[in-house]
Amino acid sequence: MRVLLTGAAGQLGQALQASAPAQSAGEALQLIVCTRSELDLTDPQACRQTVLQHRPDWVLNVAAYTAVDRAEAEAELAHAVNAGAPAAMAQALAEAGGRLLQLSTDFVFDGRAGSPYRPSDPVAPVSVYGASKAAGEDAVMAHLPPAQWCILRTSWVYGPVGSNFLLTMLRLHRQRDQIAVVADQVGCPTATAGLAQACWRVIERGVNGIQHWSDAGAASWYDFALAIGELGLAGGLLERAAAVQPITTAEYPTPASRPSYSLLDCTSTRSTLGLLPLHWRTALAQVIGAGVSLPAP
């Protein structure tokens, strides 16, 4: 089985490579990796030609423009990467055959729900980033028949490498006595290791449709930051933990609006994949315990 992986140098791309199975669906796995320098995601023709050249059984598109606030000023770039690239890949797959696993986000929702979002719930993004990811979903569905695509939405992704909330908070815990973190936005942190496992299971089982995956439980960014300090201290990554002060979204204005509630209902996906998630705090402890790529203070 040939799998073309985009975003190979990113935090999830690295986790996917580290956990790639030797076989998938009974076939030897041949993983073809593309980094940002190897594939210009703003060039639809390059995306199309890459798919037609390799003719993979699956394209695993985890590359994305993820700078949520900067996207407000770079809407064209965000849409090119998050919508234009998957559209071009989907068009190529419609010709060549093969399937597309498109990673998406909880930010396609507006945060007004009173219960976890189901895969069937309508999207209503409140930011350029969210709108660009929703447009990517639409493009995939428009260019491929249902049997050839799977859209996997996830939330608050972090891991031991790259740029993410965990590494930022560890750095701030080292540098400051006090950290102010938003406490009125609720979702669920998702470690790259478990998310990568879910992606490989989608491919192994040939799952299609819209799916939701996150770690278990719920948290605010404040809860997440507090746990990072506690577990970082216990795991020897920190000599001391800063005091974490809960603040409101209004007290920490940002260029992009964010959903105040973006918990995903993953019940059906967990059943389909046959996977039981870790609670987010357990997953966080495992990531910290295994070590992270954090610059020296």
Catalytic residue annotation: 129
Q: Are the CB atoms for 136 and 83 separated by under 8 Å?
A: yes
What is the dihedral sign for C-alpha 196, 124, 114, 107? Answer: positive
- CA-closest candidate to residue 215, choices 159, 163, 295: 159
CA dihedral 26, 32, 36, 41 (to 10 degrees): -80
Buried b (16+ CB within 10 A) or exposed e, 47-71: bbebbeebebbbbbbbbbbbebeeb
The H-or-E segment that residue 75 falls in is: helix 75-79
Counting Cα atoms < 13 Å in the Cβ hemisphere of 70 gives: 5
Residues 6+ apart with CB under 8 A from 202: 101, 150, 152, 211, 273
3 beta partners: 31, 58
Measured CA to CA, the distance from residue 17 to residue 34 in angstroms comes to 11
